[in-house]
Structure 1
Amino acid sequence: MSINTTNISLPLRLTFFIFSMVLNCMGIVILQLSQENIGYDKLGFLEAFKDLPIALISLFAVNFISKFGTKKSLILALSIVGICSLILPFVQVFWFYKLWFAIIGTSFAIGKICVYGMIRNNIAEEKDLAKTMNNVEASFMIGIFVVNVGFGWLIASGYSEYWKFGFIFISLVSLVTIYLLSKINIIEADKNLKTDILSNLISFKKTSVVLFFGVVFFIVFTEQSFNSWLPTFYKTHLHVNSFFAIQASSMLAVFSYLGRIITANIIQRYSLVKYFRYCLLCIITLLSTIFLIQYFGSGQSEILLYLFPVIGLFLSPLYPVINSKMISKIDSHKINTFTSVIVIFSSLGSSVSSILMSVLFENQLLTFYSLYILGAVLIIFSLSFLYFKQDYQKN
């Protein structure tokens, strides 16, 4: 059984596009609020208000989604995002950002489980899954690019004080996506099949699964080190203005988008394991080069503006490739629970990364920015090596 990609592809891509914008506006919020005398220590914990609700709500969302169906649940999540984005421009207090990100995080937890469930319930073959997930998740990169470019131009214009009104665009896209979702027919999982979360979680306690979650944690850990903090790194360490910092960061999203689109089109020709390792080796090479330039050639620091975005070409395929390889082996009736655990480890990786990054910025240790990220990538390499070895032995 297969998805009617003509009908379902656009709303799923728009869904990830929307969630990408609201999740990855964090870099812009940090950049703007840091200029309003709000300390990096507070801004570093702002990420936790987004990520911890994602982790906490994920398991509880499984039975809710199983009862109401992925389509209705996804429409609800998008409706909440649209309403919250419409309200944000009219609220001025800092505490509301914490509440706003918490609500957005909760909606994302529901939305991601729904999207993954739709895909897994209709596609069984490993490489087809990888192709579909790369295509859908490529929209996530477009969202990062659009939110950076759009808000960047708004901030640089004569209407910079109204930068928060850019969120109204997200509300409009949410409305369009809800309409498209309401018009499609999808294959739902059996609603009468009860989800035993506890027994499903116990069945995930295999060594290979634990290693997989470790890899997911550090991939998101690495991605968030760039997505939320790269604009601020450009501004504080490379001394470029806010507009250029945001635009230069948006190029990371462009390369990330290209990485996922290229992967979606060539993945069926190559071994997923070899492709994954090739991407990791390229990232390690680039980060090592960046660190050497930072440490030994401060006069050539401007080249970092061009090297950092290239990392996205090789970093972006890691998450969908490793997910598709694992998800293809999970029973369809367990997929919502399994996805919820993926979401939990992803959100924890994002939150921990931002908190540790805030420590680097607070203590002005930005010379070690790339070295810090390189350490996380080396951990990914080690854990993935053990994971693929376990997977090979099992097969």
Structure 2
Amino acid sequence: MGNLKIKISVFINYLLFGIMLNSVGTVIMQVQRYYHVNESSASVLEAFKDITIAVVSFLVASFITRIGYKKSMQIGLAAVALACFIVPSVKTFIAVKLLFAVTGASFALIKISVFGSIGLITKNEKEHISLMNFIESCFMVGILLGYFIFSYFIDDADASSGRWFHIYYFIGALYLLALLLLTLAPLNESAAKPTEENTGASFMEMFRLLVLPLVVSFVVCAFLYVLIEQSIMSWLPTFNNKVLHLPSSFSVLMAGIMAASTAIGRFLAGMVLKKVSWYVTLTVCLVAAAALVLIALPLAKAEEGHVIKVWADVPFSAYIFPLIGFFLAPIYPAINSVILAALPKKQHGTMSGLIVVFSALGGSLGSIITGYIFQHYGGQSAFYFSLVPLFLLSIALLLFKKSKKINQTSSIYHAP
């Protein structure tokens, strides 16, 4: 009961960043309409978000425990709130890029702090995995809410309408409320306080972690997973709009199915993973995800060219393909929990930084590759591309499992 306030605060923080970070798919579609830029130019928004996440994570992960998890989260929330209030007044493409850069930098602080805090407020590995899945479920709920909120402000008839910018006033206010709640929530960080190491030694701790086989196999898994998820999620509104020819507002709402299915998948995984092996669960999910790609995309091809004016005209494939989120859902939270549970709490901040860095790089690369394929070879080819990293991820998960088994009792994971 003593950790209830901080848990609620963490849930809300993740929900809000779910709205902002994954609005990039909607905004990619909107900037093409509003600023008349092509797919490749629009895809850089993902890079502004993810590269910033990676850079800030690398710079702060080694000493974030000195700043404090709670204080870092407060800084992140305040920065995004300020940026949200500024952008609607400027309405330039550069301002949108900077908004995602600020959001990315702030999320780096939030995610490292949240991942580090989970170890402080849970008692064992199973509780850790369960809470991680529930937190990630909140992130997906935020994504889903974002699709509904943004679609309300999109003008289908007038591509030059700047009405969609007004949503940022509302989101900025939500961030201020989240900041107030966090300020009122107590968090005991004594177990995460660093020893008298200097910053150079803290950076060396990151590189010491990176030479461990378990950590190497993990970062490959994290990189590939986010590459898959972001390449699909960021381009799903554009796919719906340009391939299935849904109106812009419909395209955004239909993309929300993936967020909803992912949220449900992570919520259920939080219960299933208490009883079933994480490796078996994730392997089944990967096979199912690949099968869904092979089923849904041919359906989408057959339905290309249909005129969509009302909801009854929306093709069946628009409902089927986003369900891939349900099968991808458990993978990321589960592997994060496995690696963090294998390390002492004092290393959770550093390891969380590595998680965020490689996740961000995967997301950025996935979106850029998909945008390039989309522009030059079409939306069908862009989404078939997801089969390649799905196959590679299945191999990486096997190596991760073997590394965990080999090193499970090794004292190196408990080194001070």
Question: Please, what TM-score do these two structures have when normalized by structure 1?
Answer: 0.94
Corresponding residue to 2:238 among 232, 235, 241: 232
Separation in 1, partners of 2:177, 2:328: 30
> Does the 8 Å contact 2:9/2:185 carry over to 1?
no
Give the Cα–Cα distance (whole angstroms) in 2 for the partners of residues 32 and 11 of structure 1. Answer: 31
> Closer, same or farther in 2 for the Cα pair 1:121/1:200, shift >3 Å?
farther
- The structure 2 residue matched to 1:271, chosen from 266, 277, 280, is 277
Q: Would you say 1:23 and 2:6 are equivalent positions?
A: no
TM-superposed deviation, 1:59: 2.3
| CA 106–275 in structure 1, closer or farther in 2 if over 3 Å, else same | same
Q: Does 1:210 align with 2:216?
A: yes
Q: Do residues 167 (structure 1) and 168 (structure 2) align?
A: yes
One-letter amino acid of the structure 2 residue matched with residue 387 of structure 1: F
Instruction: Identify which range, 157-166 or 178-187, moves more after superposition.
Output: 157-166
Query: Which residue in 1 is equivalent to 2:352?
Result: 339
Other-structure match for 2:412: none
Gaps of 5+ in 1: none
Aligned to 1:37: 36
Aligned to 2:66: 67
What's the offset of the Cα at 1:197?
Answer: 2.1
- Deviation, 1:303, is 2.4
How far did 1:91 drift?
Answer: 1.0
Contact 2:25 2:233 in 1 (8 A): yes
Report deviation, 1:46.
2.1
Give, as a single letter, the amino acid of the residue that structure 2 aligns with 1:102.
A
CA contact (8 A) 1:41 1:362 kept: yes
- State the identity %: 29
Aligned-residue CA RMSD (Å): 2.1
Match of 1:324 in 2: 337
**d(CA) in 2 for partners of 1:313, 1:54:** 25
Instruction: Give me the whole-angstrom Cα distance separating, in 2, the residues matched to 1:304 and 1:372.
Output: 18
CA contact (8 A) 2:155 2:163 kept: no
Residue type of the alignment partner of 2:165: K
Residue of structure 1 equivalent to 2:411: none
By how many angstroms is 1:207 displaced? Answer: 2.1
- Say whether the 8 Å CA contact 2:228–2:366 is kept in structure 1: yes
The Cα shift of 1:158 comes to 8.8
| C-alpha separation in 1, matches of 2:214 and 2:116 | 21
Residue 360 of structure 1 contacts residue 366 of structure 1 at CA under 8 Å; is this kept in 2?
yes
Aligned pair count reads 393
Would the aligned equivalents of 1:208 and 1:390 in 2 still touch at CA under 8 Å?
yes
Q: Distance in 1 between matches of 2:351 and 2:15?
A: 23
Once residues 175 and 276 of structure 2 are traced to their aligned partners in structure 1, the CA distance between those partners, rounded to angstroms, is 36
Q: Which is worse superposed, 153-162 or 269-278? A: 153-162
Task: Kindly state the Cα deviation for residue 351 of structure 1 after the two structures are TM-superposed.
Answer: 0.6
CA shift in 2, pair 1:368/1:135, >3 Å = same
Aligned counterpart, 2:295: 289
Shift of 1:296: 7.0
1:350 shift after superposition = 0.7
Judge which range, 76-85 or 3-12, deviates more: 3-12
| Contact residue 87 and residue 165 of structure 2 kept, 8 A | yes
Counterpart in 2 of 1:177?
A: 178
Per mean C-alpha deviation after superposition, the further-off stretch among 367-376 and 107-116 is 367-376
TM-score by length of 2: 0.89
Deviation at 1:192, TM superposition (A): 4.8
CA contact (8 A) 1:69 1:191 kept: no
- Pair 1:370-2:371 in alignment: no
Q: Which amino acid aligns with 1:346?
A: S
The amino acid that maps onto 2:53 is: I
Paired residues for 1:58-137 under 5 Å: 58-137=57-136
Kept in 1: contact 2:25–2:235 (CA 8 A): yes
Contact 1:124 1:328 in 2 (8 A): no
Cα distance per residue 1:178-230 (max 9 Å; x no partner): 11111121120225553622134223312222111011001100110122110
> 2:315 maps to what in 1?
302
Q: Which string of whole-angstrom CA distances, capped at 9 and with x for unpartnered residues, describes residues 76-133 of structure 1? A: 1100011111111111221122222111111111111111111123325222111001
> Is 2:193 aligned against 1:190?
yes
Segments of 5+ residues of structure 2 without an aligned counterpart are: 307-313, 409-416
Higher mean alpha-carbon deviation, 16-25 vs 3-12, is at 3-12
Does the alignment pair 1:244 with 2:242?
A: no
Alpha carbons 1:224, 1:353 under 8 Å: kept: yes
* Partners of 2:257 and 2:322 within 8 A in 1: yes
How has the CA–CA distance of structure 1 residues 81 and 161 changed in structure 2, closer, same or farther, with 3 Å as cutoff?
A: same
Q: Distance in 1 between matches of 2:304 and 2:85?
A: 44
CA deviation after TM superposition for structure 1 residue 6, in Å: 2.0
The reply on whether 1:353 has 2:352 as its aligned counterpart is: no
Question: Does the residue aligned with 1:268 lie in a helix, a strand or coil?
Answer: coil
Name the structure with the higher helix share.
1
Determine if the alignment matches structure 1 residue 47 to structure 2 residue 46: yes
Match of 1:269, SS state, is coil
Letter in 1 for 2:167: G
